[in-house]
Amino acid sequence: MFFQKDIETMPRKKIEEMQLERLKWVVAYCYNNVPFYHERLKNAGVVPEKIKCLSDIQYIPFTTKADIRDTYPFGLFGKPMKEIVRIHASSGTTGKPTVVGYTRKDLDTWSDCVARLCVAVGASDEDIVQIAFGYGLFTGALGLHYGLEKLGATIIPASSGNTKKQVMMLKDFGVTALVSTPSYALYMSEVAHECGISNDELKLRLGLFGSEGCTQEMREQVEKGFNLFATDNYGMSELMGPGVSGECHLRCGLHVNEDHFYPEIINAETGEALEAGERGELVITTLTKEGIPMLRYRTKDITRLNYEPCACGRTFVRMDKTTGRTDDMLKIRGVNVFPSQIESVLVQMENIGPHYQLIVRREGFMDTLEVQVELVDGRLLEDYGALEHLQKQVKANLHTVLGIDCKVSLIEPKSLERFQGKAKRIVDLRGQN
């Protein structure tokens, strides 16, 4: 097992003492080894000696994804390249990719963090784990791979794609745990059932999902599709990859690995620190990273922190499942709309499937939102009365949750794109004529 009890059940006072010691270290490390941070801290009047208590973190400027891109490719690295043993990067679909580097110590820390979180949800060296994340520069696949391997589990590095073959392996190899995005797991279950494979023929019991948000309602759909226990873990390449936080078997929040990450919650608009229990943007400072340390990194993810010890015995702070991102929030007629709100409505309704797409347009000076969602049974398209009734019902339920009217389009089953990686739910057409 990989339950590090002496660390994961430390009293809050001991956790904070350790964090302060490591915060002092990382500020000095950045000041002395990363020219970007040396200038940033110097201009803010922050020298390492200024950090005397945890609250002094407020004097440190935020780091953003733009900072990583502006110093592309290696400007934020804290070690010379001869000490960097691994490079990962984001896809760079909206500009230059964010490039991150790892020392040998970083990789060891990373696999420890992942192994710790996998044990917390019940994974063990008895598991056969199929990893259906895409391998490559993306941190998800190799992050889970080495963490689970350190745990002693049997790893099938299936990568993404070729879904029928994936399903065949689930059955033939006796896979007990699946690593993927929740949306891809849902698609895999559809394909399995289309291929005539029932859940009774599978040994799947655990889902280790991440890389995209997942509402409680979507999780229930995934669990029903594969008859497994679905769990969430959280991370991003800028911070390390998966392993920043994850659920335990009680699923009452994601335990943050506080010996390696210091979390804060801020008001996304003002940057002001919020009190414990308040919802806002998550900010993370890495406490032990050497390759590319991060001081007060703005994740753009919206959550809140709970410092009460968990019933599982772990004392690390728990973060709620993220409810959205400040950069995927849509503002429609002055109202803030998150895809997770729409998803929670759709997956609870009968006769419509869990796959949807959001189309944003600008008509005149007004933004409009169209919600496209698949029907479970395409024959309903031939019954105009029933179709109209369902459409009105979906529209009314969305209005209740969102507070605005939106167009609802009910479309053919399996007509929306299925994603092997992170699902792309939003199609923004506002810049088009």
Domain with 155 in it: what CATH number? 3.40.50.12780
CATH number at residue 384: 3.30.300.30
Structure tokens at 270: 């003002």
Q: Are residues 302 and 339 in the same domain?
A: no
pLDDT at 319 over 90: yes
Helical pair 216-226 and 182-194, crossing angle rounded to 10 deg: 30
Single residue among 309, 325, 341 that ends a domain in this structure: 325
* Residue 115 pLDDT class (50, 70, 90 cuts): very high
Question: Which pTM value belongs to this model?
Answer: 0.83
Phi, psi of 57 (to 5 degrees): -60, -25
**282 and 191 inside one domain:** yes
Least confident of 60-64, 66-70, 103-107, 350-354: 350-354
Residue 329 confidence class, pLDDT cut points 50, 70, 90: confident
Question: Do 320 and 344 reside in the same domain of the chain?
Answer: no
> Quick one: which of 255, 254, 197 has its CA closest to 227?
197
Place of tokens 């167009």: 407
pLDDT of the residue at 93: 46
The Cα–Cα gap between 398 and 416 comes to 20
Residue 365 is predicted with a pLDDT of: 64
Do residues 358 and 301 share a domain?
Answer: no
Q: List, for residues 54-67, the tens digit of each pLDDT value.
A: 999 999 999 999 99
pLDDT of 91:
63
Q: Give the pLDDT score at 367.
A: 81
What is the tally of structural domains in the chain?
A: 2
- Please enumerate, as own/partner, the contacts of 191-196 that have beta carbons within 8 Å and a separation of 24 or more: 191/163, 191/164, 191/166, 191/167, 192/167, 192/226, 193/225, 195/164, 195/167
* Residue whose C-alpha is closest to residue 292's, from 148, 120, 79, 119: 79
Within-domain flag for 342: yes
> Are 4 and 135 within one domain?
yes
Q: Alpha helix (H) ranges present in 34-55?
A: 35-43
Secondary structure letter of residue 251 according to DSSP: -
**Quick one: 228 and 300 in the same domain?**
yes
Mean pLDDT for the stretch of residues 90-115: 87
**271, 287 Cβ separation under 8 angstroms:** no
- d(C-alpha 379, C-alpha 388), whole Å: 14
Give the single-character DSSP code of 273.
B
Q: How many CB atoms lie within 10 A of CB 125?
A: 13
pLDDT at 287 over 50: yes
Q: What is the pLDDT of residues 123-145, one digit of tens each?
A: 999 999 999 998 989 899 999 99
Domain boundary among 292, 325, 358: 325
Say how far apart CA 234 and CA 288 lie, in whole Å: 18
pLDDT at residue 193 is higher than 90: yes
Give the whole-angstrom CA distance, residue 84 versus residue 76: 12
Judgement on whether residues 252 and 395 belong to the same structural domain of the protein: no
Length of the chain: 433
Confidence category of residue 321, pLDDT binned at 50, 70, 90: very high
Q: Looking at residue 432, what is its pLDDT?
A: 67
Alpha helices in 321-412 (DSSP H): 339-346, 384-402
pLDDT single digits (tens) 388-403: 999 999 999 998 888 8
Question: What are the two backbone dihedrals, phi and then psi, of residue 369, each rounded to the nearest 5 degrees?
Answer: -125, 130
Do 135 and 110 form a contact (C-beta atoms < 8 A)?
no
Domain holding 391, by residue range, is: 330-428
Name the residue among 228, 388, 358, 292 with its Cα closest to residue 87: 292
Give yes or no for a contact between 158 and 293, defined as CB atoms under 8 angstroms apart.
Answer: no
Pair 226, 183 in one domain = yes
Contact of 268 with 281, CB cutoff 8 Å = yes
Q: What is the pLDDT of residue 403?
A: 81
pLDDT at 35: 98
CA distance 316 to 14: 11
Residues 217 and 347 both lie in one domain: no
Supply the mean pLDDT for the chain. 92
- Is the model's pLDDT at 423 over the cut of 90? no
Question: What is the predicted pLDDT for the residue at 419?
Answer: 79
Q: Is residue 64 part of a domain?
A: yes
The residue among 87 and 339 whose pLDDT is bigger is 87
Residue 433 lies in a domain: no
Question: In whole angstroms, how far apart are CA 2 and each of 117, 257, 262?
Answer: 9, 14, 22
Residues 209 and 352 in one domain: no
Q: Which residue is it, tokens 């990568």?
A: 159
Which of 325, 350, 368 finishes a domain? 325
Q: pLDDT tens digits for 5-26?
A: 999 999 999 999 999 999 999 9
Report pLDDT for 14: 98
pLDDT band at 44 (very low <50, low <70, confident <90, very high): very high
DSSP string, 51-90: --SGGGGGGSPPB-HHHHHHTTTTTT-SS-GGG--EEEE-
Predicted local distance difference test score (pLDDT) of residue 426: 87
Please calculate the CA angle 260-266-268 and round it to the nearest 5 degrees: 125
In the sheet where 366-375 sits, what is the strand order? Answer: 407-411, 366-375, 352-363, 426-428
Distance separating alpha carbons of residues 99 and 37, to the nearest angstrom = 17
Q: Can you tell me the mean pLDDT for 221-226?
A: 94
